[in-house]
Amino acid sequence: MRTIFLDLGLQPITNCFLPTPVVADEVFYPLRVQFDDDSALVSLVTTLRPELMFNETYAHRASASATMRESFRSVAHHIRDTFRPRRVLEIGSNDGAFISALSRDIVVAVEPCENLAGMTAALGYRTYPVFWNLAEAETIVKCHGEMDVIYAANTMSHIPGLAQALEAVTLALSDDGVFVFEEPSLLAVITNGSYDQFYDEHAHVFSVTAAARALATCGLEVFDLEELSTHGGSTRFYAKRRGRQSHVVSERVQQAIDRELAAGLTELPTYLRFAERVQQSRTDLVQLLSELKAQGKTIISYGATYKSATIFNFCQIGTSLLDCIVDTTPGKQGKFSPGMHIPIVSPEEGLGQTVDFAFLGAWNFRSEIIAKEREFVGRGGHFITHVPDVHIIKLGATSPRTP
Ligand code: TYD
C-alpha cells in the first residue's frame, strides 16, 4: 500500500531557470512523496512529463564540480580495469563526464537532452539523443550488440517508469554483463534530513532494499555496492543477471539491507517522523534567515541547485531574504531561480565584500566550496546549512556571528 508522508507544496520545474523575474506561465505541480510498503520504494506522487524537464535547455553539467569529475573518472577506470568490457553503454551521459574517461571505440551513450547529447557526439562518442526505453534498447542492441557494462549515474531515479527502464537494461545486457548504477541514498536522506533530494527529477529515491526488489522483478540481482559521499551520500550498485555465477554476491549487500531495516526504512512511521523533522527544518531556516536579515546582514545562496529550488519554494524564501544565488554554471548565470525568481550570478559577482552569510544550496559540495571560498571565510563570512539541521557552520578558529 502506498502512503503519502510528505507534502512539499507547489513546486516549479527545477531546471526551468527563467530569463526574467516576471513570468506569467510558469508551471507548478504538487510535490508530495509516498512510501510503498510492498516494494519499499519512496517516490513522488506526481511525476512530470520527462520532455518538460529533460530537453535542449537542460542546465546541469555533471562536470561542473571537481569532486564529480574525479568520481566519474575513477569509476570509469575501475569498470574498465575490473570488467574489461568490450562494450559499455551509459544511460544519461550528460556532458560526458564518465564516458570521456573511456575509449570512443567501446562506448555507446544515451542522453535525451539534445544540448548535452550534441556535446558528447561532438567529442566523437556515439550518442543517441533519446529517452531510455525498451524500443531504444532493442535498436541499440541491433546496431552494437549486447553490452558488457551498462552504467547510469543519477539517472534511474529520474525515470518514472522504473520497471520498463530496468527491463530495457536486462534486454541490452550481455549474459555475464554488469549493470552499475549510482543514486542518492535514501538512508542518507533520512539521516541528513535532506528533504531537498525530493524534486521533480527524482521520481524515486532508492534504498538498497527497494532497488534490490525492483531489480529482482526484472531478473537482476545486486552483487555488490559501494557507499559514496557524492550528492550527500549515494549508493553505487553492481548488478548481474540473477543466477549467473559470474560474480559472487558480497556480504556488503545483506549488511546494507540489515542497516536499512534497523533504521526503519521499511516502516511507515520512520517517514512520518522524517516529515515532522522537515517541518521543523523549514521553521528554523526561515527564522534564522529572518533574524540575520533583521540585523542588517547580507545573505546569498551558494549553488543554484535543483535541491535548493525545493527548499526555497517549500519555505517561500525569496529576494526579501536572499540577495542572489551564485553559481559557476554559465547557463544559469543571468537567469532567475525557478519559482522564487532569485537572480543567479557568478560567485565573483555575487560573493562581494558586503556579503555576510551564504546558504549552502550545494551543501553536497560543502568541502569543495568552503575550500574555494577561503577569502570569504577569511574576512568573516559564514556559511549556513540545513543539513543535518539548520545551523551556521563553524570553521576552524573563526567564531561565527550568531543571530
Ligand atoms: P548539484 O549538486 O548537481 O545539485 P542539483 O542536482 O541539486 O542541481 O549542483 C551543484 C551546483 O552548484 C551546480 O550548478 C554547480 C554549482 N557549484 C558552484 O557554483 N560552485 C562550486 O564550487 C561547486 C562545487 C558547484
Residues 168-180 have pLDDT tens digits of 999 999 999 999 9
Can you give the pTM of this predicted structure?
Answer: 0.94
Read off the pLDDT of residues 232-250 as tens digits, 9 standing for 90 and up.
999 999 999 999 998 999 9
> Considering only CA atoms, which of 64, 6, 3 is closest in space to residue 38?
3
Omega before residue 19 within 30° of 0, cis:
no
Residue 134 has pLDDT above 50, yes or no: yes
Burial pattern 117-137, b for ≥16 Cβ within 10 A else e, equals bebbbeeebbbbbebbebebb
CA dihedral 101, 105, 107, 108 (to 10 degrees): 150
Mean pLDDT of 292-310: 98
What was the pLDDT predicted at 12?
A: 97
Number of the ligand 1 atom closest to the C-alpha atom of 59: 14
How far is Cα of residue 199 from the mean position of the Cα atoms in its chain? 9
Which helix (H) or strand (E) covers residue 31, if one does? Answer: strand 28-36
C-alpha distances in angstroms, 179 versus 129, 173, 223?
A: 21, 8, 10
Q: At 214, which amino acid appears?
A: A
User: Would you place residue 65 in the very low, low, confident or very high pLDDT band (cuts 50, 70, 90)?
Assistant: confident
- β-bridge mates for residue 234, sequence order: 184, 228
Residue 398 has pLDDT above 70, yes or no: no
Torsion sign, CA atoms 172, 175, 178, 179: positive
What was the pLDDT predicted at 400?
A: 38
> Considering only CA atoms, which of 364, 9, 13, 30 is closest in space to residue 194?
364
CB atoms within 10 A of CB 311: 24
Residue 158 has pLDDT above 90, yes or no: yes
Read off the pLDDT of residues 36-45 as tens digits, 9 standing for 90 and up.
999 999 999 9
- Report the greatest alpha carbon distance in the chain: 65
User: SS3 for 335?
Assistant: coil
User: Would you place residue 397 in the very low, low, confident or very high pLDDT band (cuts 50, 70, 90)?
Assistant: very low
What was the pLDDT predicted at 64?
A: 84
CB atoms within 10 A of CB 403: 15
Ligand 1 center to residue 305 CA distance, Å?
6
Give the start-end residues of each E strand in 129-258: 147-153, 173-184, 204-205, 220-228, 234-241
Residue 67 has pLDDT above 50, yes or no: yes
Q: Which three cell numbers stand for residue 108?
A: 555507446
Residue 22's φ and ψ, nearest 5 degrees, are: -110, 110
User: Would you place residue 403 in the very low, low, confident or very high pLDDT band (cuts 50, 70, 90)?
Assistant: very low
Q: Are 327 and 222 in contact (CB under 8 A)?
A: no
User: Would you place residue 92 in the very low, low, confident or very high pLDDT band (cuts 50, 70, 90)?
Assistant: very high
Rounded distance between C-alpha atoms, residue 269 and residue 318, angstroms: 33
Percent of residues, the chain, with pLDDT higher than 70: 98
Q: Are 326 and 351 in contact (CB under 8 A)?
A: yes
Ligand 1 center to residue 135 CA distance, Å?
33
Mean pLDDT of 191-196: 98
Read off the pLDDT of residues 95-121 as tens digits, 9 standing for 90 and up.
999 999 999 999 999 999 999 999 999
Q: Is 306 in the pocket of ligand 1 (CB under 6 A)?
A: yes
Q: Is 372 in the pocket of ligand 1 (CB under 6 A)?
A: yes
> Considering only CA atoms, which of 214, 127, 236, 231 is closest in space to residue 169?
214
Ranking 54-63, 212-221, 302-311, 382-391 by mean pLDDT, the lowest is 54-63
Read off the pLDDT of residues 141-156 as tens digits, 9 standing for 90 and up.
999 999 999 999 999 9
The residues near 371 (Cβ < 8 Å, ≥ 6 apart) are: none
Half-sphere exposure of 113 toward its Cβ, with a 13 Å CA cutoff? Answer: 23
Q: Is 303 in the pocket of ligand 1 (CB under 6 A)?
A: yes
Q: Is 362 in the pocket of ligand 1 (CB under 6 A)?
A: yes
What was the pLDDT predicted at 401?
A: 39
Contacts 24+ apart (CB under 8 A), 281-286: 281/193, 281/195, 281/386, 281/389, 281/390, 282/314, 282/315, 284/386, 284/389, 284/390, 285/311, 285/315, 285/317, 285/386, 285/390, 286/315, 286/316, 286/317, 286/321
Mean pLDDT of 183-190: 98
Q: Which three cell numbers stand for residue 66?
A: 571537481
User: Would you place residue 353 in the very low, low, confident or very high pLDDT band (cuts 50, 70, 90)?
Assistant: confident
What was the pLDDT predicted at 374?
A: 94
CB atoms within 10 A of CB 113: 22
Rounded distance between C-alpha atoms, residue 37 and residue 208, angstroms: 14
Q: Is 65 in the pocket of ligand 1 (CB under 6 A)?
A: yes
User: Would you place residue 23 in the very low, low, confident or very high pLDDT band (cuts 50, 70, 90)?
Assistant: confident
What was the pLDDT predicted at 396?
A: 65
Q: Which three cell numbers stand for residue 63?
A: 562536470
Residue nearest to atom 24 of ligand 1 (CA): 65
What was the pLDDT predicted at 24?
A: 86
Percent of residues, the chain, with pLDDT higher than 90: 92
C-alpha distances in angstroms, 377 versus 352, 380, 401?
A: 12, 5, 12
Q: Is 327 in the pocket of ligand 1 (CB under 6 A)?
A: yes
Q: Is 305 in the pocket of ligand 1 (CB under 6 A)?
A: yes
Mean pLDDT of 292-299: 98
Q: At 324, which amino acid appears?
A: C
Which helix (H) or strand (E) covers residue 385, if one does? Answer: strand 382-385
User: Would you place residue 60 in the very low, low, confident or very high pLDDT band (cuts 50, 70, 90)?
Assistant: confident
> Considering only CA atoms, which of 299, 400, 398 is closest in space to residue 351?
299
Read off the pLDDT of residues 260-274 as tens digits, 9 standing for 90 and up.
999 999 999 999 999
What does the mean pLDDT of the chain come to?
95
What was the pLDDT predicted at 59?
A: 84
